[in-house]
Structure 1
Amino acid sequence: MVRRFSDPVEVRVEVRPSDGPQQRPEAFIWRGRLYVVREVLDRWRERRAWWRDALDAEEVHARPGAALAAAASEQEVWRVEASPGWSFAPGVYDLAHDQSVHGEQWSLVRVAD
C-alpha cells in the first residue's frame, strides 16, 4: 500500500563530485525520527504542484513572472530504501527535492508499506 504525504523533512545529502554537482540523500528526519538511507532505488523528475504556489497568499508579493516560472519548474524525486535504525525493517520512501521561488526544500511525498 502506498500512502501520500506532503510533509517537510530535513535531509542530509552526500555530494558526489564524480557524478557532477549531484546531491544524493543519505539520511532524513521525518516526524522527529532519523531515517538512514540504505539504498537509492530510483530517481526521476516530475512537475511540481504549481497550483499550490498560485493559491499561496505570499505569492501575491512575488516578483513579476514568478508564478509562470513556478508552473514550468520540476522537482527531483528520490525513491530510497531507509529505516530508523539497523534493527528495524526498511521501508520505501519518496523524497522530493524542490527548488521553488520560496527556496530549496525537501519533502516526503510517498511511503510504500
Structure 2
Amino acid sequence: MLDPVRVYNEPCDMVMAKDGRPRSFEWRGRQYAVVKVLEDWESTRPWWREPLPGPLDHVVYHYRVRASSTRGQGVIEVRRQYEGWFVTAVLD
C-alpha cells in the first residue's frame, strides 16, 4: 500500500465517465487523464454535525487513481462529495 506524501483538500474540475467514475481532471492549472481507477470506496460525512439538503448528500465517494499529465504518471486520491470534486492526496 502506498503512503500519502502530500495531503491536500483542494477543489478540482472533474470529467466523469458514463459510470460516474473519474475520467480526467484539471487541478492547479494542469490537466490529468485517469489511466486507471486503482481503488474506490464510500464513506459518510457526519450528518449530525453538517446538515445537508438530502440523506444521500452525506455520501462521499473516494477514488485512488493512476493519472497522467505532461509531467508523467502518479497515484492521486480524489473524492466527490456534495460540494464537488477534491484532490485529497498525491502518493508515491
Q: Please, which runs of 5 or more residues in structure 2 have no aligned partner?
A: none
Post-superposition CA distance 1:45-89 (Å, at most 9, x none): 1233669x75xxxxxxxxxxx36x68x92200011000213xx43
How much has 1:93 moved relative to structure 2?
Answer: 0.6
4+ residue segments displaced more than 4 Å: none
Structure with the higher helix share, 1 or 2: 1
2:8 to 1, 5, 13: 5
Q: Paired residues, what number?
A: 88
* TM-score of the superposed pair, with normalisation by structure 1: 0.65
Q: Does 1:96 align with 2:75?
A: no
CA distance in 1 between partners of 2:22 and 2:44 (Å): 20
**Residue 32 (structure 1) aligned to one of 11, 29, 32:** 29
- Which 5+ residue runs of structure 1 have no aligned equivalent? 16-21, 55-65
Change (3 A) 1:50 1:29: farther
Normalising to structure 2: TM-score of the pair?
0.79
DSSP-derived class of the 1:5 partner? strand
Q: Over aligned residues, Cα RMSD in angstroms?
A: 2.5
Among all aligned residue pairs of Structure 1 and Structure 2, give the percentage whose two residues are the same amino acid. Answer: 31
Structure number with bigger Rg: 1
Displacement after TM superposition at 1:110 (Å) = 1.0
Equivalent position of 1:110 in the other structure: 89
